[in-house]
Structure formats: C-alpha cells, structure tokens
C-alpha cells in the first residue's frame, strides 16, 4: 500500500528536497506551497508529487488540503510541519508586529497544521508527526531570541504530545533539530533585516559586530537540504522513532550540554508517561 506524506513549506530548501526524495521513493506527496502554479509547472515530470496551497497562518487553507486528502486517500502517514523562517532583530529592536509574525508562522503554523491533520493521522495504522525545530529550539542564542523562543515553543508542544500520542493514537512524534542548512533561510532573514533598516546604529551594534565577526570565523560547513531529506527518509523507517534528532555532528556538539543525559528524548517522555499516566 502506498504511503502518504504531507509537507508544509515545500516550495524550497528542506521541504522541497524532502518532497522530491519521498516522491522519487514512491510515496504520495502533498507538498505545501504558496505558489502552486509555479511549483506544479516546474516539477510536472515528478510522479506522485502534488503541490497544494498551504499558508500555515491560515487554518482554512490547511482544512481545504485535508479535505482533498480525505477524498483521495483518507489518511496521512507522515505529517512534516516544516514551514518556518528566521528572524534576526533583538527583542529590544523588533516591533511587536514583527515578533508576532514569527510566532504566527513558526508556532501557530505548526499548531494549525497538526490540528487540521489530526483526524487523518488517526486514520493511519501507524502515523508520524515531524516538525522542523532547530538547534535554536534547545539552545538560546544572542540576537536570535525571537526565533529561538518560537522553536522552544514547538519543542514544548511536540514533547507534550509525544507523552501520549503514541499509546493513545499510535502516532510517533519527532523534532528535527538542524544547525545551518543551505537554503533560502539565511537570505530570507537577511532580506527582512535589510527591508526594515538593516543593522541599526544603536546600543546593540557592538554585540551584532562581534556576532558577525565570530560567525565569519567559524568554519562549519552548512548541510545541504538534500542531506536533511535523506535523514527524513531514514527517520520514516526507523523502528524506534526518536522524539529529538540532530541532523549533523556540528548540531550534536552545539546542543550537547542540553541533551547528553537523554539524546533522543525518549527516556524523558517515558518517565513523564509513567509518572503522570501510569503507562510504560
């Protein structure tokens, strides 16, 4: 029987690479984009790949896709909540509207997507929800506080769901935690910064300059989106699915002080389940 995956943020980067990988491996792929016409035309030759309009800030656009999948296959086996963007203004510099817009996509986007897909996930014999978090979902970083807070939020959301979705609905839950990836992510964040006045001459400037200087001296090589897609495919077939998975050695090292006692997160959710639900 064919497997069904639904991906948000599949117009570029990790989402697109994952959509292509799974379609090429024979999965039926519903690839969320904000420009169906452009993407469907570009990838018309790829079998099993269906671009669908998914604006994660708009629950109605997600419901429409779920209605379509209900009609066509009646279930989702793997939901990949991947849409998101970076933001590099400090708490003291950003407007509340800008901060809210990060949360609208990176946090509410994931909430809306899971809520819309849940009935279809429950129709699968064994379903899986994966959300793209970040090393910034585990480690707070200077100048990235808004972005990190948004990723910490989805870490809390998915960790909580993981305590009971598996025993109750047979749905595994995983947080994908990459470090730097080659994609449109950096240019989108830098464009947003440029469009709102660029690096400001204010009290944060010395810290910003030091941060940029340290960043340029780091010789870590970003992962390709294709490497993340390969890992996503491996993850889909793992017998014991981790709650958390870093995508590279560099990412693992960066967060080691937070995860060394329980790298996959499975020990933690097992313990919580035992204490609060009296379940193994």
Ligand X SMILES: NC(=O)c1ccc[n+]([C@@H]2O[C@H](COP(=O)([O-])OP(=O)(O)OC[C@H]3O[C@@H](n4cnc5c(N)ncnc54)[C@H](OP(=O)(O)O)[C@@H]3O)[C@@H](O)[C@H]2O)c1
Among 5, 6, 14, 149, binds ligand X (CB under 6 A): 14
In angstroms, the CA 251 to CA 96 distance is 30
Cβ proximity to ligand X: between 8 and 93 the closer is 8
Instruction: Tell me which stretch binds ligand X (CB under 6 A): 43-51, 72-80, 82-90, 204-212.
Output: 82-90
- 252 φ/ψ sector (left φ>0, alpha ψ -120 to 50, else beta): alpha
Q: For residue 106, how many C-alpha atoms fall within 13 Å in the half-sphere facing its CB?
A: 26
CB of 275 to ligand X, least distance (A): 31
56 lies in the site for ligand X, by CB under 6 A? yes
| Catalytic residue ranges | 147
Site for ligand X in 239-278 (CB under 6 A): none
β partners of residue 245: 176
List 83, 158, 173, 243, residue binding ligand X (CB under 6 A): 83
Backbone angles phi, psi at 205, to 5 degrees: -55, -45
Q: Which residues contact 280 (CB under 8 A, 6 or more apart)?
A: 270, 273, 274
Find the shortest distance in angstroms from Cβ 255 to ligand X. Answer: 12
Residue with CB nearest ligand X? 13
For the segment 117-176, give every residue that binds ligand X (CB under 6 A): 132, 134
Q: Which is nearer to ligand X, 15 or 242 (by Cβ)?
A: 15
Beta carbons within 8 Å of 222's beta carbon, 6+ residues apart: 179, 180, 181, 182
Report whether 86 contacts 181 (CB < 8 A): no
**Residue 185 engages ligand X in binding (rule: CB under 6 A):** yes
- Output 13 or 265, the one with its CB closest to ligand X: 13
Q: Is 115 helix (H, G, I), strand (E, B) or coil?
A: helix
Is residue 127 within 8 Å of 121, Cβ to Cβ? yes
Q: Which stretch binds ligand X (CB under 6 A): 19-27, 78-86, 194-202, 259-267?
A: 78-86
Closest distance of CB 199 from ligand X, Å: 20
18 binds ligand X (CB under 6 A): no
Tell me: does residue 192 bind ligand X (CB under 6 A). no
Q: 84 vs 265, which CB is nearer to ligand X?
A: 84
Characterize 163-180 residue by residue with b for buried, 16 or more Cβ atoms within 10 angstroms of its Cβ, and e for exposed.
Answer: bbbbeeeebbbbbbbbbb
CA–CA distance, 73 with 231 (Å, rounded to integer): 25
Does 188 engage in binding with ligand X (CB under 6 A)? yes
What burial class does residue 272 get, using C-beta atoms within 10 Å of its C-beta: 0-12 exposed, 13-18 middle, 19+ buried?
middle
How many positions of this chain bind ligand X (CB under 6 A)? 29
Positions touching ligand X (CB under 6 A) are: 8-15, 34, 54-57, 82-85, 105, 109, 132, 134, 178, 180-181, 183-185, 188, 225
């Amino acid at each position: 029987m064919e497997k069904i995956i639904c991906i948000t943020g599949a117009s570029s980067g990790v989402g697109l690479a994952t959509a292509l990988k799974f379609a090429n491996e024979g999965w039926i792929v519903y690839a969320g984009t904000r420009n169906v016409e452009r993407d469907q035309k570009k990838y018309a030759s790829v079998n099993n790949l269906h671009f669908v309009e998914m604006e994660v800030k708009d629950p109605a656009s997600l419901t429409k896709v779920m209605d379509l999948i209900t009609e066509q296959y009646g279930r989702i086996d793997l939901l990949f909540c991947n849409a998101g963007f970076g933001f590099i203004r400090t708490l003291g510099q950003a407007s509340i509207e800008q901060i809210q817009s990060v949360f609208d996509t990176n946090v509410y986007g994931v909430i809306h997507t899971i809520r819309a897909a849940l009935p279809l996930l429950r129709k699968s014999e064994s379903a899986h929800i994966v959300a793209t978090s970040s090393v910034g979902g585990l480690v707070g970083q200077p100048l990235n506080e808004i972005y990190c807070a948004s990723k910490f939020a989805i870490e809390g959301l998915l960790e909580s769901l993981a305590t009971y979705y598996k025993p109750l609905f047979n749905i595994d839950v995983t947080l994908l935690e990459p470090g730097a990836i080659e994609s449109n992510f950096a240019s989108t964040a830098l464009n947003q910064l440029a469009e709102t006045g660029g690096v400001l001459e204010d009290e944060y400037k010395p810290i910003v300059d030091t941060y940029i200087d340290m960043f340029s001296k780091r010789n870590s090589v970003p992962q390709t989106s294709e490497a993340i897609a390969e890992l996503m495919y491996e993850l889909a077939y793992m017998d014991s699915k981790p709650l958390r998975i870093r995508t590279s050695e560099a990412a693992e090292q960066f967060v080691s002080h937070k995860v060394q006692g329980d790298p996959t997160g499975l020990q933690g959710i097992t313990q919580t389940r035992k204490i609060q639900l009296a379940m193994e």
